[in-house]
Amino acid sequence: MRNLAVAVLLSFLCAASASADNAFMGHYGYMITYSNAYSARPEFHGAIEAVDLFPLTCKGLKKRMDCAKIGMVELAVMPKALVLETMGAKTFDEYLAGILGDAKAAGIKAKTSRKKRAGFPSALIEMPGHPQPLNMLVLIEGTKVYYRFKYNAKAGEKAAAAMVTSLKEIAPHDNPPEAGR
């Protein structure tokens, strides 16, 4: 079984290199591809894996939000158990309702649309009145985790759409890294 997983991973990596894209393999057993014009910077905040995917031209900018204005995409990957613990959301619908409820409480009008993305249940949330540059969310329910892509509607839509479409679960799990790693 392990050899099969390695073979599958290698085939995805070869496919990614054949299309001149970069591949990022996340801790929770997923992979996304992104343009060679982008770079990835992963880090953990507790059990949440946060990956900033930003244009290479962003490296000279001092403020993170300036990068958002030129196409940065934020990916947060959270075990479903963490979302249940912190939000009380037992299902994807409850998780989505919680986010929409928080936006409404903050006075932000949000529009949502549901469809499958990358073969998974998902929702697109548009928050045009959001004060931050990252005003679009794509929430995806994976096998063991939730994926949240955030991007700027004007600058990051094309890059985010390609990343979302490329999402593959290679060896899904919900075990956070050991403390101190």
pLDDT for 19 equals 54
Beta-carbon contacts of 150 under 8 Å, excluding residues fewer than 6 positions away, are 73, 74, 75, 76, 134, 136, 137
Predicted confidence at residue 20, as pLDDT, reads 62
Give me the residue spans of the domains in the chain: 2-169
Q: Largest Cα–Cα distance of the chain, in whole Å? A: 51
Higher pLDDT, 90 or 12: 90
Chain mean position to CA 155: 16
* CA 32 to centroid of chain Cα atoms: 9
Residues 2-169: name the CATH superfamily. Answer: Mog1/PsbP, alpha/beta/alpha sandwich (3.40.1000.10)
Residues 135, 126: contact at Cβ < 8 Å? yes
13, exposed or middle or buried, with CB in 10 Å at 0-12, 13-18, 19+? middle
Residue 137 has pLDDT above 70, yes or no: yes
Q: What is residue 10's predicted lDDT score, i.e. its pLDDT?
A: 43
pLDDT for 66 equals 80
Q: Which residue has the tokens 């996340």?
A: 26
Mean pLDDT value across the chain? 86
Distance between CA atoms of residues 181 and 170, nearest Å = 22
* CB contact at 8 A, 5 and 172: no
What was the pLDDT predicted at 133?
83
